Amino acid sequence: MNGVLTLLRRSPRASAGVALLAALLLLALCAPLLTRYSPTSQEFGTWLKPGGAHPLGTTPLGQDIWAQLVYGARLTLLIGFTAGLAATAIATAVGLTAAYFGGKVDEALGVLLNVFLVLPGLPLLIIVSAFLRGGGVWSIILVISLTGWAWGARVLRSQALALRNRDFVHAAVVSGEGPGRVIFAEMLPNLAGLIAASFFGTALYAVLSEAGLAFLGIGDVSQVTWGTMLYWAGAKGALLQGAWWWVAAPGLCIALLGTAFALINFGIDEVINPRVVHATRATQVLRRKKTSSGPERTGPAPLLDIRHLDAGYITPNGQVRAVRDVTLSVAPGEFLGLAGESGCGKSTLAFAATRLLDAPGAVFGGEARLAGQDLLALSSEQLRRVRWKDYSLVFQASMNILNPVLKIREQVYDAMQAHGVQDRARLEARARELFALVGLREDYLGAYPHQLSGGMKQRVVIAIALALEPKLIVMDEPTTALDVVVQRQILQEVDAVRRRLGIAVVFITHDLSLLVEMSDRIAIMYAGEVVEEAPAHHLYAQPKHPYTRQLMGAFPSLDGPRERREGIPGRPPPLSQDIAYCPFFERCPSRMPGTCDVLKPAKVEVAPGQHVACFLHSPAVKEYPDAAD
């Protein structure tokens, strides 16, 4: 309803179209009030001129033309609306199914679509209606619906394809919502304007097709429609007899109806296009959790256990191995920070381990276990059940997962509903509780995403990620787009919540000083490998890997005077090549030619919980203690 009001307010064309359509609808509905005569009765004089009891005269069969016009409006509008609805329903179903499923489904539907698009409209209509002759007005509706859906389907498919790649749709998929729910609850509302425009476009096509078919004498010409009026006027030589009004009246009505549909169609386009252009947003949520024990770790059994994970991208120029033989684990309730320069593979690691790496991304080998369950071996249905409930993920562009046309409340409900919580009172209570947890006022539940600031949307996404109390949340630079103060506030709240609920967090960022403050343990990645991992305070006080040291040096210290910081000279090796030696060799100030550029250092435990992959700390170089410290 709000949408219709907005349309009328913003578009004078749509208002004019709606007014015209309303007038024609009134004509059809009030037919018995507008004439005393039946449209089919033949009781009057023939070829009477307009005037007196017959405002539009009579036909050569003695029928009242005005009565035919007002009653004819009923069937004409019925055909327009019903065929428009049916064709739009087919177009929407085909367009969205093709876009959502993609691949072979899209190809098959694309072939069907192209066949219907290249078949010439009128001949097709004539052939199909010849087959369905005798079915009365419903066969005409069927013919028009079957021949009129393809254009709408093509437009809807291309828009739905763009929508399918939007973050909020990805987030809905990974949060466990089934295809039906994603299509109808997430994608469809965003296509409402386009679907409405498609409906009015198809209704216009239906009215014109009916008139064309009727004029050619195809279909049931005993029915009274504006089209069959034209047919009889032509067949009886109305123009030759000088009865031009018999042709003009239905012709004008068809033109007015067509104009009304076209105006509404234009109006919708006018209003929805800018919205489509401006509708952007950011935030992604997923989840994950894991358990298993790694040989290098002592203490509690890990929740997330990544072993020898190899992942990356398949490009036309070969494989990019962005994650190389990574073994990493996270204990229940632990805050693990993952740091490293841009492009070192942090996001790829998070995506690969949580089964979110889409093509051209691929996992080449290894394991990622969550509470003992091998995530990489799960079917999509099993995965759907695990995500959201057991683990969630908050991504860099975290505001994008919020659907612009749904209220925040529905989006907070969605994840819970997808996992079986249906009771409205429970949903509402939980939503309020979550908002309190992330420091948002409850009344924002009733707002739309555009009414919230970036920081607030970020909190909403984090609230959604917490909705089912997952055991693990992976956060990939979740606050990068926000200012430092908001960033810190949000992180402090996340930390407080995870401590209270015992949730483990994997936190990815470039900002090592932030990690040192927040994390229990930190893993440093370089060129796709984890080169050092250690308890946060240990890493801060005693970084062992030359890369970690340089990375520390590139950030301001937590205390002490302000001073100029230098970046790390040089660049990491390209991840498209094999690196059978220390990947940091070229940039390392302590490199040992003949060793570091020939062999790969294994990870060794240099202090409790501190593992380093560097020959400076391997037994072979223990004789160079000075170099190691």
Ligand X SMILES: Nc1ncnc2c1ncn2[C@@H]1O[C@H](COP(=O)(O)OP(=O)(O)OP(=O)(O)O)[C@@H](O)[C@H]1O
Using CB under 6 A as the binding rule, whether residue 221 contacts ligand X is answered as no
Give me the least distance between CB of 338 and ligand X, in Å please. 9
Tokens encoding 561: 């005077």
Distance of CA 41 to the CA centre of its chain: 57
Piece of the chain touching ligand X by CB under 6 A; list 67-75, 117-125, 131-139, 340-348: 340-348
Closest to ligand X by CB, 178 vs 318, is 318
Question: Hey, which residues between 33 and 92 contact ligand X (CB under 6 A)?
Answer: none
Closer residue to ligand X, CB minimum distance, 13 or 170: 170
Q: Cβ of residue 508: shortest distance to ligand X, in angstroms?
A: 7
Rank residues 207 and 506 by Cβ distance to ligand X and give the closer one: 506
| Local structure of residue 282 (DSSP, 8 states) | B
**Binding mask of the shown chain, residues 480 to 519, with x at each position contacting ligand X by CB under 6 A:** ------------------------------x---------
H/E stretch holding 549: helix 546-553
Q: Which is nearer to ligand X, 41 or 315 (CB)?
A: 315
- The correct pick among 342, 379, 380, 422 for binding ligand X (CB under 6 A) is 342
Nearer of residues 211 and 506 to ligand X, judged by Cβ = 506
Q: Write down the least CB distance from residue 223 to ligand X, Å.
A: 59
Q: Is 313 in the site for ligand X (CB under 6 A)?
A: yes
Does position 354 interact with ligand X (CB under 6 A)? The reply is no
Using the contact rule CB under 6 A, the part of the chain among 71-79, 120-128, 158-166, 339-347 near ligand X is: 339-347
Contact status, residue 323 vs residue 349, Cβ threshold 8 Å:
yes
Instruction: Figure out which of the listed residues 274, 299, 360, 608 binds ligand X, where binding follows CB under 6 A.
Output: 360
Q: What is the Cα–Cα distance from 491 to 511, expressed in whole angstroms? A: 13
Tokens of 500: 């209270």
CA dihedral of 82, 84, 139, 19, whole degrees rounded to 10: 60
Q: Shortest Cβ distance from residue 507 to ligand X (Å)?
A: 13
Q: Does 251 bind ligand X (CB under 6 A)?
A: no
Is residue 317 near ligand X by the rule CB under 6 A?
no
Cα angle, residue 200 at apex, residues 194 and 202 outer, rounded to 5°: 100
**Of the ranges 88-96, 166-174, 337-345, 589-597, which one interacts with ligand X (CB under 6 A)?**
337-345
Q: Which of 21, 224, 271, 322 is close enough to bind ligand X by CB under 6 A?
A: 322
Minimal CA–CA distance to 169: which of 279, 288, 269?
Answer: 279
| Residue count of the chain | 629
Inter-residue contact 267 to 193 (CB < 8 Å): no
User: Is residue 165 a contact point for ligand X (CB under 6 A)?
Assistant: no
Amino acid occupying residue 463: A
Smaller CB distance to ligand X: residue 74 or 510? 510
Binders of ligand X among residues 587 to 616 (CB under 6 A) are none
Note whether 271 binds ligand X by CB under 6 A. no
- Look up residue 498 and give its amino acid: R
Q: Is 397 exposed, middle or buried (0-12, 13-18, 19+ CB in 10 A)?
A: middle
Binding of residue 573 to ligand X (CB under 6 A): no
Stretch that binds ligand X, among 104-112, 185-193, 344-352, 373-381 (CB under 6 A): 344-352
- Find the DSSP H helices in 340-437: 346-353, 380-386, 408-418, 424-437
219 lies in the site for ligand X, by CB under 6 A:
no
Q: What is the residue-wise DSSP string for 178-243?
A: -HHHIIIIIIHHHTHHHHHHHHHHHHHHHHHHHHHHHHTT-S-TTS--HHHHHHHHHHTTTTTTT-
Is residue 109 at the binding interface for ligand X, with CB under 6 A as the rule?
A: no
Q: Does 145 bind ligand X (CB under 6 A)?
A: no
* Cβ distance to ligand X smaller for residue 39 or 573: 573
One residue of 46, 165, 298, 315 binding ligand X per CB under 6 A: 315
Q: Which is nearer to ligand X, 320 or 523 (CB)?
A: 320
Find the binder of ligand X among 251, 294, 343, 535 (CB under 6 A). Answer: 343
- 575 binding ligand X? (CB under 6 A): yes
Q: Which helix (H) or strand (E) holds 305?
A: strand 304-315
Q: Does 344 bind ligand X (CB under 6 A)?
A: yes
What is the distance of C-alpha 445 from the center of its chain? 21
| Residue 309 contacts ligand X per CB under 6 A | no
Burial classification of residue 81, based on how many CB atoms lie within 10 Å of its CB (0-12 exposed, 13-18 middle, 19 or more buried): middle
Q: Does 577 bind ligand X (CB under 6 A)?
A: no
What is the side-by-side strand order in the sheet with 603-607? 285-287, 391-394, 472-476, 504-509, 335-339, 521-526, 529-535, 610-613, 603-607
Adjacent-strand bridge partners of 365: 310
Could you write out the three-class secondary structure of 25-78? HHHHHCHHHHCCCCCCCCCCCCCCCCECCECCCECCCCCEHHHHHHHHHHHHHH
Q: Which of 56, 196, 320, 467 binds ligand X (CB under 6 A)?
A: 320
Give me the least distance between CB of 342 and ligand X, in Å please: 3
398 binds ligand X (CB under 6 A): no
Q: How far is CA 175 from the centre of its chain?
A: 12
How many residues line the site for ligand X (CB under 6 A)? 15
Contact between 337 and ligand X by CB under 6 A: the answer reads no
**Could you tell me the smallest distance in angstroms from the CB atom of residue 313 to ligand X?**
3
Nearer to ligand X, 340 or 543 (CB): 340
Strand 610-613, strand 603-607: pairing: antiparallel
Cβ at position 572, least distance to ligand X in Å:
8
Distance CA 581, CA 574 (A): 13
Whether residue 290 contacts residue 503, with contact meaning beta carbons closer than 8 Å, is answered with no
Q: Which residues bind ligand X (CB under 6 A)?
A: 313, 315, 320, 322, 340, 342-348, 360, 510, 575
